[in-house]
Amino acid sequence: MVMAAQQQTVHDRLLKKNNRNAEKIERKGKIIVYGCATIIILATISITLFLMTKGLQAFVVNGVNPISFLTGLDWNPTRSEANGGPVYGALPFIFGSFAVTILSALVAAPLGVGAAIYMIEIAPSWGKRILQPVIELLVGIPSVVYGFIGLSVIVPFVRQYVGGQGFGLLAGTIVLSVMILPTVTSIATDALRTLPNGLRESSLALGATRWQTIRRVLLPAAWPMLLTAIVLGMARAFGEALAVQMVIGNARTIAESLTDPTGTLTTIITLNMGHTVQGSVDNNVLWSLGLILLVMSYIFIIIIRFLSSRRSF
Amino acid sequence: MKLKKLLLFMMLSALLVIAVACGSGDDSNDTGTDSTGGSDSENGEEATSGEAEGQLVLSGSSAIQPLMAAGAEEFMGLNAGADIQVQAGGSGQGLSQVADGSVDIGNSDVFAEEKEEIPADELVDHRVAVVGMGPAAHPGVGVEDVTSEQLIDIFTGEVTNWSELGGEDVDITLVNRPDSSGTRATFVNYALDGAEPAEGITEDSSNTVKQIISETEGAIGYLAFSYYNDDTVLPLKLDGVEQTDENVTTGEYPVWAYMHSYTNGEPEGLAKTFLDYMMSEDVQQVIVPELGYIPSTDMQVERDAEGNQTDVQ
């Protein structure tokens, strides 16, 4: 009898009496989730619109020629009228951003994917136990610390053993590769971990060695996800400002060699933003550089979307 | 209840995001009206009587920020009712924010007339201090004295090795500040006679510039006198004149700039009391030299926005 009564109450509580209440909670939950999603979407849209209006002002209001802005080699916003007036050619920085991004991806991609293969396929238990925390630690280090290490360790090292002034593409590449390594590694690890075990087992059952399995079966299967990992790393490298600014030298010319100082879109923005006056040409062209960065991050996202839609398992 | 609050909060933050994203520099929330109270006395003596109260927001050049912060701290110690916030961010930001009324005082190391888009005739200039700056080289270059012509040759890239100036056989490495920096503008105008510096390493912070000069053989850059507090960099004599505070005040050494505090119209209330305090003996003769600046009350020469130097009457 007592049992029956208890069962009744449990049943009531879960299903009947509070049914309306449960509906209410569900509705509330829905509102919260939808609200959050709306805020995020609105924020993205407003940031895009804001950057569009600010970034296009240099061309629309100040009459800077967009073609010469994108292809010009001279950046000199403070040149006096006597010397020919200010010129805004952002190509050195666009080139610098791409150069340092692609170079660091070239370094970080094999290292990151290699580390992921090691963690998942070769030494799954203790390899992961050591590597995982190390990589998590790398994510947690703030970029100013990377920049400072770059400035006081890597720059003198490059100057002494490679040549040049130390500041330049090479130092920037080294710092950025370490910074994007964790991004590449952790996504590559996920990619390999989510591969169905059947793939490994059938490959081994057919007589393939472990190396053959990794090389011919697992890597091709995970390829789109691995590419996604690399592109995400590149997106991070493209947008990084502080650490790069401290080691790349921030010259306004295109680097002719790895040891030449050069600048990137982000470093020129952070160097000059505070000194310029809101609404002036000098300020508006910096926003235009920001717009280029935004467009690039959209392109990176489109590439990632495209790659992940090609997942083959 | 809680949920409603949460929803309200979310909606408000969504609104905030949109407002921030869509707002532009010209929406002025006039905190200037907040600065109520304070004595209207002419001299700084009354300012220390502890009567001043209200809120004051300062922003602008990071070069003046230490002085303003120290002055504000002292002032708040003497006047318990006063609340003074000192923000850095750059001369351009300080000037545009004081012009649109979002801060009470805008600090700048250049004349407002030198920045476009700033209604300079509406702003009132208060010269709280003077800062001297000059060429600083790596101690091992073997040159201690340069002429103006030699300095221009160094910075325009005409001369590329210190041996051409009678020094050691090391290549010259230029360390610049960003295009729009006030220190760069002052150095270009008064040390290089307007000549455009050649491309080199560019860094935003004087601390980094100093570190690079001290570590790189053959490096030369320009620093404010306050950074000459050890032997890691060598201040070069310019045309035989040493870089000292005294030579600046007598007008013998030409490379210096005012630290301007601009108010929108004649200062009233707390802004006036605070600026009077900054010009008082206490601050000018104790805090200003302590932080490596030159008291503007000591100056025997003065300079206008066009750069014309005259003796103080």
State the pLDDT at residue A236.
Answer: 92
Query: Of A108-122, A206-220, B40-54, B284-298, where does mean pLDDT reach its minimum?
Result: B40-54
For residues A157 and B17, which has the higher predicted lDDT (pLDDT)?
Answer: A157
The vertex-B305 CA angle with B303 and B309, nearest 5°, equals 25
Q: Determine the pLDDT at residue B8.
A: 65
Q: What is the pLDDT of residue B226?
A: 87
- Tens-place pLDDT, residues A79-112: 877 778 889 999 999 999 999 999 999 999 999 9
CB B106 within 8 A of CB B59: yes
pLDDT at B46: 43
Low-confidence ranges of chain A (pLDDT < 70): 1-19, 311-313
| Nearest CA-CA partner of A42 in B21, B175, B276 | B21
Report, as an integer, the average pLDDT of B269-290.
Answer: 92
> Helices A91-117 & A169-193, crossing angle to 10 degrees?
40
Q: Which residues of B touch A283 (CB under 8 A)?
A: 92
B10 pLDDT band, cuts 50/70/90, is: low
Res. B31: pLDDT tops 50: no
- Please tell me which residue of chain A has the smallest CA distance to B216: A165
**Banded pLDDT at B5 (limits 50, 70, 90):** low
Taking only Cα atoms into account, the Rg of chain B, rounded to an integer number of angstroms, comes to: 22
Write down the pLDDT at residue B308: 83
Residue B309 pLDDT level (bands cut at 50, 70, 90): confident
Distances (CA, A) of B312 to B131, B244, B306: 17, 19, 16
Q: What is the ipTM of this complex?
A: 0.76
Average per-residue pLDDT for chain B: 84
Categorize the per-residue pLDDT at B105 as very low, low, confident or very high, splitting at 50, 70 and 90: very high
**φ and ψ of B260, to 5 deg:** -90, 140
Q: What is the mean pLDDT of residues B191-199?
A: 89
Contact assignment for A249 to B62 by CB distance below 8 Å: no
Q: Contact B284/B67 with Cβ under 8 angstroms? A: no
Q: How far apart are the first and last CA of chain B?
A: 70
The DSSP secondary structure of chain A, one letter per residue, reads -HHHHHHHHHHIIIIITTHHHHHHHHHHHHHHHHHHHHHHHHHHHHHHHHHHHHHHHHHHTS---HHHHHH---EETT--GGGT--EE--HHHHHHHHHHHHHHHHHHHHHHHHHHHIIIIISHHHHHHHHHHHHHHHHHS-HHHHHHHIIIIIHHHHHHHT-TTS-SHHHHHHHHHHHHHHHHHHHHHHHHHTS-HHHHHHHHHTT--HHHIIIIIIHHHHHHHHHHHHHHHHHHHHH--HHHHHHHB--SS--SSTTS-B--HHHHHHHHGGGSPTTSHHHHHHHHHHHHHHHHHHHHHHHHHHHHTT---
Tell me the per-residue pLDDT of B69-99, one tens digit each, with 9 for 90 and over: 999 999 999 988 899 999 888 888 899 999 9
Which of B8, B235, B208 has the alpha carbon at shortest distance from B134?
B235
Contacts of A274 in chain B (CB under 8 A): 62, 88-93
Residue with token string 């109450």: A9
In tens, the pLDDT along A213-222 reads 999 999 999 9
- What is the rounded average pLDDT of the residues B301-307? 86
The pLDDT, as a whole number, for residue A11 is 60
> Mean pLDDT across the stretch B88-114?
89
Taking all residues of chain A, what is their mean pLDDT, rounded to a whole number? 89
Chain B residue with Cα closest to A25: B3
Distance from CA of B4 to the nearest CA of A (A): 10
For A77, the closest of B93, B180, B208 (CB atoms) is B180
Across the range B252-273, mean pLDDT stands at 92
How near does any CA of chain B get to the CA of A146, in Å? 15
Crossing angle of helices A91-117/A219-239, nearest 10°? 140
Residues B136-158 have pLDDT tens digits of: 999 999 999 999 999 999 999 99
Instruction: Give the model's pLDDT for residue A82.
Output: 76
B173: chain A residues, CB-CB within 8 Å? 165
Contact B129, B283 (CB under 8 A): no
Looking at residue B27, its pLDDT comes to: 38
Which among B7, B22, B89 is the nearest to A35, CB-wise?
Answer: B7
Q: Over 50: is that where the pLDDT of B25 sits?
A: no
CB half-sphere exposure, A68, CA atoms < 13 A? 10
CA–CA separation, B137 vs B228, rounded Å? 11
pLDDT digits (tens, 9 = 90+) for B249-261: 999 999 999 999 9
